[in-house]
Amino acid sequence: MPFSDYRTALVTGASTGIGAVVVERLAKQGLQVHAIARNAERLDDLARRTGCTPHAVDITDTAALSDTLQDLDIDVLVNNAGVSRTGNILTADEFAVDEQIAVNIQAVLHLVRLLMPGMVERDRGHIVNISSIAGVYNFGGNTIYHATKAAVHTLSRQLRVDGYGRRVRVTEICPGRVETEIFGRLLGDMEEAQRQFYDGYESLKPEDIADAVEFAVGSPRHVNIGHVEILPTFQVPGGLNFERRTG
């Protein structure tokens, strides 16, 4: 739908990176944007810059999330918040499993559960799930992250089925490496993450993902942009390993 069909939006993980830029873009398009994140200070700064409505809420706290959303009619939901942990299932601990499930898929399910019925009733809405190429390709490490993003991938397709016959669109955006704080949080050292993952690479920027969100949401009402993969030109998914044993 053109942006003129929508009045409100909600963006999670809004205090920094992709989320913050998406808030800026949607606000510039004239939407009243509700920005959700845990960092109240960053949200307040974002509100001063964009006019968004800040909500300092942990999306894994379902009761608090429900309270925040109970009086809101949201036309555009951008599920952007996400976390990752290093290692595969052989090295994962209990926290790595529980945290990634809680943020990456459980919270997404609850947000959709709380907001999509209103979209269906109003016959107007758009859900944008920021997923990952890890949801559609297999490569080494971050096994739990892959599993949660694969769940988001399947959910995105299923939501189109659930909303059949109503003007509710669903877009899944699967980025490759984006220059955000996610690797710094993984390592606990932003400078080291910059050196290891970004210096010398032509990574995506948050603005590149916001471009895709803006394009999908602003498309004509008869157009649903269902699945978008966005990778750096020099990043290629795929590859095949074959362990050879002799004797």
Q: How many CA atoms lie within 13 A of 115 on its CB side?
A: 30
145 is catalytic: yes
- 174: β partners: 229
At 7, the amino acid letter reads R
Residues in the chain: 247
Q: Quote the Cα angle for 51-53-54, to 5°.
A: 115
Radius of gyration for the chain, computed over Cα atoms and rounded to the nearest angstrom = 18
Helix H or strand E encompassing 233: none
Q: Which whole-number Å values give the CA distances from 161 to 182, 217, 220, in the listed order?
A: 32, 19, 20
Q: What is the DSSP string of 124-174?
A: -EEEEEE--GGGTS--SS-HHHHHHHHHHHHHHHHHHHHTTTSSEEEEEEE
Burial class (CB in 10 A: 0-12, 13-18, 19+), 80: buried
Q: Which of 6, 137, 145, 198 is catalytic?
A: 145
Contact 33, 50 (CB under 8 A): yes
Contact 24, 41 (CB under 8 A): no
Residues known to be catalytic = 145
